[in-house]
Amino acid sequence: MKKLKRSARLVEMTQYLLNRPHTLISLTAFADRYQSAKSSISEDLAIIKEVFEEEGLGELHTLAGAAGGVKYTPKMNVDEAKKIMESVCRQLEQPERVLPGGYLYMTDMLGQPGLLADIGRMFATAFASKDIDVIMTVETKGIPLAYATAACMNLPVVIVRRDNKVTEGSAVSINYVSGSNKRIQTMSLARRALKEQSRVLIIDDFMKAGGTIQGMMDLLHEFNAHVAGVGVFVESGELESEDRLFEDYVSLAKLTAVDLKTKQTTIVLGNFFDNPQT
């Protein structure tokens, strides 16, 4: 790369960092890339850090010393997250979204790349301090949320199939009982899709009693892998808490009441906002 003026270098470094979240970049690499002194690079990074943090884009951690470097950790500050999720809650309360069984139509919202990027940053904020190797979800609606989170955290995604028609070599299948309709269902994952001992963040779109997520946890057990966290976009809070299959999860929104006759719902902020990690 040719030697850049400082103004161009700032633009270049900004895009370079934004496109490589959760990746340690050595100051030497930057100095070589821009044919500049490390001291100039450090000054530039200080400017970028201030803007990123002021804008609530996340944190820029600089490690000093010979092995030093810089890492961009995308985060969202709690005020911005609250503003976005309050608007999401109002949209989810539209009566035409109520589906049979007390489910909510939210596929249209999960199709919007801008909102997904925001949700990904919220989950990345919630789980920033956890040691995670891979993000897992089950087809179909959780997939975009898992990828949006993965993009912010620089992690691979593994998708569990809802049948046993996996055509990808040997697979592990388990049966699980979906909490909502009490039916026995099957989910499968190709043996080669997940390494043993992986630390796994489970992401899904909607959780009632948590049977589907419990199924993913049981599947992880078969792979000798570990649950590093559970994040759901919307939880249904319409149950007695003893009916919930597990307690340790992060939700961004909570459906607290559905009246199937009037199609009135009440949706409030999820437990992410009880104790935000920002």
Compute CA distances 238 → 97, 100, 245, whole Å. 17, 15, 14
Q: How far apart are CA 67 and CA 38, in angstroms?
A: 13
Question: Shortest approach of its own copies to residue 10 CB, angstroms?
Answer: 5
Q: Is 32 in the site for its own copies (CB under 8 A)?
A: no
Q: Quick one: which segment of 5-13, 205-213, 226-234, 252-260 binds its own copies (CB under 8 A)?
A: 5-13
CA atoms within 13 A on the CB side of 151: 15
Q: Quick one: which segment of 34-42, 104-112, 205-213, 245-253 binds its own copies (CB under 8 A)?
A: 104-112
Q: How far apart are CA 222 and CA 170, in angstroms?
A: 13
| Contacts made by residues 180-185, CB under 8 angstroms, sequence distance 24+ | 180/101, 180/102, 180/103, 180/208, 180/209, 180/211, 181/101, 185/215
What are φ and ψ of residue 93, in 5° steps?
-80, -5
Q: Which of 116, 252, 253, 258 binds its own copies (CB under 8 A)?
A: 116
Question: Shortest approach of its own copies to residue 121 CB, angstroms?
Answer: 10
Please identify which residue in the block is written with the tokens 């990345």. Answer: 124
Task: For the segment 178-237, give every residue that binds its own copies (CB under 8 A).
Answer: 190, 192-193
- Maximum separation of any 2 CA atoms in the chain, in Å: 68
What are φ and ψ of residue 19, in 5° steps?
-85, 0
Q: Which of 62, 91, 140, 175 binds its own copies (CB under 8 A)?
A: 140
Binding residues for its own copies, how many (CB under 8 A)?
A: 53
Question: Shortest approach of its own copies to residue 156 CB, angstroms?
Answer: 4
Q: Which of 127, 265, 138 lies closest to 189 in space, CA to CA?
A: 138
Task: For the segment 143-182, give every residue that binds its own copies (CB under 8 A).
Answer: 143-144, 147-148, 150-151, 154-159, 161, 167-169
Binding mask 36-55 for its own copies (x = CB under 8 A): --------x--xx-xxx--x
Name the site residues for its own copies (rule: CB under 8 A). Answer: 4, 6-8, 10-12, 14-15, 18-19, 44, 47-48, 50-52, 55, 57, 99-101, 103, 105, 107-108, 111-114, 116-117, 139-140, 143-144, 147-148, 150-151, 154-159, 161, 167-169, 190, 192-193
